[in-house]
A and B are shown apart, each in its own frame.
Chain A
Amino acid sequence: ETGVTQTPRHLVMGMTNKKSLKCEQHLGHNAMYWYKQSAKKPLELMFVYSLEERVENNSVPSRFSPECPNSSHLFLHLHTLQPEDSALYLCASSPQGNTEAFFGQGTRLTVV
């Protein structure tokens, strides 16, 4: 248990659905990340939030929309996804500075 919790653990959605992934940490960390993990690209950085400001959007399609309402919560809003978006979505958090990032257990997303 790393203290980073992701919900739901599994999600199946149709291409026209809208859903959200949630990440929560109460470790006092102020940097949070979304990664996509697939067979093609094992740990692909999607978004970085530092002190609740988005500091990186790694050329991610607009059908993925992140939200960081406070330093403890991070969301990934999904809509009109494609089957190739099926993957494991991992959230991570870290303190400021050069220290370890802790991962959540991930949400296994299947787009049908």
Chain B
Amino acid sequence: GENVEQHPSTLSVQEGDSAVIKCTYSDSASNYFPWYKQELGKRPQLIIDIRSNVGEKKDQRIAVTLNKTAKHFSLHITETQPEDSAVYFCAARGGFQKLVFGTGTRLLVSP
């Protein structure tokens, strides 16, 4: 079955810096890759996603890149702000709607 690995587990940056979180997946049939943000005490919420027919997608300060050959995808956050502090999860969806998540990255943005 699908296995998703995520690094780093924690990331501390200064406000205004960029943050990059990387994920790898194992199932070459996976074709949908969402990223979720979970603030303390709240449910995970989608921030950006990418499908396998696209290599890069951007939405304001966040961007995601996908390398299908290498089976890895990354989240890039530019000009980080304290409110970006949260846990970020990558995920991959393959057959039978199975949506498997990575182990999460705790991002801390210091003012």
Which residue numbers of A lie inside 8 Å of B, CB to CB? 2, 31, 33, 35, 41-43, 45, 48, 50, 55-56, 58, 90, 92, 94, 96, 98-101, 103-106
A48 touches B97 (CB 8 A): yes
Rounded to whole angstroms, the CA-CA distance of A2 and B31 in the bound complex is: 24
Name B101's contact: one of A31, A43, A96, A100 (CB within 8 Å). A43
Given A42-B89, A43-B89, A98-B31: A103 and B99 interface contact (C-beta under 8 Å) = no
Taking a contact as CB atoms closer than 8 A, the residue among A31, A96, A98, A103 that contacts B44 in the complex is: A103
A61 to B93 alpha-carbon distance, docked (Å): 23
Shortest distance between the CB of B54 and any CB in chain A (Å): 11
Contact indicator A41/B103 (Cβ below 8 Å): yes
Most B CB within 10 A of own CB, among A31, A56, A98, A103: A98
Interface residues of B in 69-111 (CB under 8 A from A): 87, 89, 91, 93, 96-101, 103-104
Partner of B43, one of A31, A41, A98, A105: A105
* B97 nearest in chain A by CB position: A31
CB pair B97–A55 under 8 Å, yes or no, is: yes
A90–B43 CB distance below 8 A: yes
Contact of B98 among A42, A43, A56, A106 (CB under 8 A): A56
Interface residues on B, range: 20 to 34
User: Which residues of B have CB within 8 Å of A42?
Assistant: 87, 89, 101, 103-104
Chain B proximity of A71: nearest CB distance (Å)? 13
> Interface-forming stretch among B11-19, B20-28, B45-53, B55-63?
B45-53
Q: Tell me if B49 and A96 are in contact (CB < 8 A).
A: no
* Cβ–Cβ contact B99 & A94, under 8 A: yes
Known A41-B103, A43-B104, A98-B32; judge A55-B44 contact (CB<8 A): no
Cβ–Cβ contact B51 & A103, under 8 A: no
B89 and A101 form a contact (CB under 8 A) = no
Chain A residues with CB under 8 Å of B97's CB are: 31, 48, 50, 55, 94, 96
B104 touches A100 (CB 8 A): no
CB-CB under 8 A for A45 and B99, given A98-B51, A98-B93, A101-B34 = yes
